[in-house]
Amino acid sequence: MTQKKRTEIAELGEFGLIDHLTKDFTVTNKNTLRGVGDDAAVIKAGREDAVVVTTDSLLEGVDFDLTYFPLKHLGYKAVVVGVSDILAMNALPEQVMISIGVSSKLPVEALDDLYEGIKFACDELGVDMVGGDTTASMTGLVINITTIGRAKRKAITYRSGAQFNDLICITGNLGAAYMGLHLLEREKRVLKDVQNPEPQFSGYEYLLQRYLKPRARKDIIEALAEEKIVPTSMIDISDGLASEVLQICKASKCGARIYLDRIPIAKQTSALAEEMHTDPVVAALNGGNDYELMFTVPLAMQEKVMSMGLVDIIGHITRESTGAYLVTPDGGDIKLRAQGFKEE
């Protein structure tokens, strides 16, 4: 008997796995403007418009822990996760579809909480809930979100458009959500056997909010439109800065230099990192869950983009041959690496 070859998923990593699985697929439909490889697929919709579609899964035990993740927040976050991908195409979200796999052990009231959060996010972001389904799950809660948006075709921003010397801009600050998650995990561990646990979150409320109730940066897309800025490339920061910079470099066939001391990090992020003896920059680079936006603009737009008052310039695009690096304050270069296949 011949032994069948067995390759572990970890050998390829998450992105290597996606590349491997999708390499034989080709696009043949004239209405498919962009397939695999960006934050969302792009589909022709009339003469000037395009519809953008993205799908995301959230799995209990991997993407969330119901011990400390309130269902209302989870519903809200599910919508934000999908909407963030749409915004990263420089498009505005319009519809969302939610599929849930749910154990019959969960009462209807728990699902009411989940859907209350979904509705809150839909109302806030101007999105219609247009479908989905419910299935029985033998195990944990499974949530899938399909999000649909729209943009003028000429405004759509891909990962692949970054040019030599472009400025790399990011919104908000990074690493806060990841530190919030660590805080929640610590308190869960510490209070495991306590009867009426009273977790200690004082002083770190912002971090919890960033993890449990991230906001989608629709304001950025609206501000860019108002300033008539169309970025050359864009991506949302869901897997950590390092991974996103590498995605832009891969798609745009370029390199990048990110300056460590320009990465915006909130005070609470630094404070908790110090308390936990970790580096807040590592949280920013690899933590993920930020749902901020990273985009590139031509050097000539520096003043215009800074006048928005909403972004930080953290580096610039280089030639592909020079690679993607983090530059430390003492001038050292650290090669950027993406995280592997997420597994808790």
Q: According to CB under 8 A, which one of 2, 3, 7, 195 is a site residue for a second copy?
A: 7
What's the closest the beta carbon of residue 5 comes to a second copy, in angstroms? 6
What's the closest the beta carbon of residue 67 comes to a second copy, in angstroms? 14
- Rank residues 103 and 328 by Cβ distance to a second copy and give the closer one: 103
- Rank residues 140 and 264 by Cβ distance to a second copy and give the closer one: 140
Q: According to CB under 8 A, which one of 64, 71, 86, 95 is a site residue for a second copy?
A: 95
Region at 15 (left for phi over 0; alpha for psi -120 to 50; beta for the rest): alpha
Q: According to CB under 8 A, which one of 66, 68, 70, 140 is a site residue for a second copy?
A: 140
Asked whether 239 and 317 are in contact (CB, 8 A), the reply is: no
The residue among 265, 114, 272 whose CA lies nearest residue 181 is 272
Instruction: Give residues 242-281 in contact with a second copy (rule: CB under 8 A).
Output: none
What's the closest the beta carbon of residue 150 comes to a second copy, in angstroms? 7
Count of residues that interact with a second copy, criterion CB under 8 A = 86
CA atoms within 13 A on the CB side of 192: 4
Q: Does 128 bind a second copy (CB under 8 A)?
A: yes
Q: Could you tell me the two tokens for 98?
A: 């939610």
Beta bridge partners of 236: 293
- Cα–Cα dist 72/119, whole Å: 10
Distances (CA, A) of 127 to 1, 149, 204, 244: 56, 9, 31, 26
Instruction: Give residues 27-56 in contact with a second copy (rule: CB under 8 A).
Output: 27-29, 31-32, 34-38, 40-41, 43-47, 49, 51, 53-56
Instruction: Give residues 53-82 in contact with a second copy (rule: CB under 8 A).
Output: 53-57, 59-63
- Cα–Cα dist 234/169, whole Å: 9
Q: According to CB under 8 A, which one of 3, 104, 195, 196 is a site residue for a second copy?
A: 104
- Give the binding range for a second copy (CB under 8 A) out of 145-153, 185-193, 246-254, 303-311: 145-153
What's the closest the beta carbon of residue 340 comes to a second copy, in angstroms? 10
What's the closest the beta carbon of residue 77 comes to a second copy, in angstroms? 15
Instruction: Give residues 286-325 in contact with a second copy (rule: CB under 8 A).
Output: none
Terminal CA-CA length for the chain: 36
Specify the 3-state DSSP secondary structure of 309.
coil
Q: Is 44 exposed, middle or buried (0-12, 13-18, 19+ CB in 10 A)?
A: middle
Instruction: Give residues 148-187 in contact with a second copy (rule: CB under 8 A).
Output: 148, 150
- Rank residues 20 and 253 by Cβ distance to a second copy and give the closer one: 20
Q: How far is CA 36 from the centre of its chain?
A: 17
